[in-house]
Amino acid sequence: MPLSYLHPIVGAATVALLFYAGSLGLRSRNVRRGKAELLQRHRRIAPVAFGFNLVSWIFGLLSVWTLRPDLELAASMHLRIGSALVLVLGAAYACSRSMSSLNRRNIHVALGSVGLLLAVAQVFFGLQITP
């Protein structure tokens, strides 16, 4: 069943992209030189990473439904964490649309950081059910 490995491969690429986008945002908070460039790259890449995450979540559901009869649909901790990750990153994206206040910026950073922690947990629980 080589097709059942497609979601784990896409998921790994998605997590790597999420960490790259997150690292750009976090690094921009701690530097003065190059801050504008880091933020600009973060603004370009983070929505793409969120989109990949959403597609990977949908593809994971479809792959369990069609390719993994050994797994019960929507019953794993991997799916629960993935769902939380989509919601948290969606909230971070929504919050990023207006970064004029310090509160919104801090909330955005907190949501992004929680998203990265959820991505680590997602990898851990995903490895347990990899075919």
44-78 confidence digits (pLDDT tens)? 999 999 999 999 999 999 999 998 888 888 889 99
Mean model confidence pLDDT for the chain: 92
* pLDDT number for residue 32: 87
Q: What is the pLDDT of residue 99?
A: 79
- DSSP, res 33: T
Task: Inform me whether the pLDDT recorded for 17 exceeds 90.
Answer: yes
pTM of the model as a whole? 0.90
More confident position, 130 or 20? 20
The CA–CA distances, whole Å, from 13 to 8, 10, 53, 108, 131 equal 9, 5, 10, 23, 18
Alpha carbon of 41 to those of 21, 59, 92: distances in Å? Answer: 8, 27, 16
pLDDT recorded at residue 1: 57
What does 67-103 look like in DSSP terms, one character per residue?
Answer: H-TTS-TT-SHHHHHHHHHHHHHHHHHHHHT---SHH
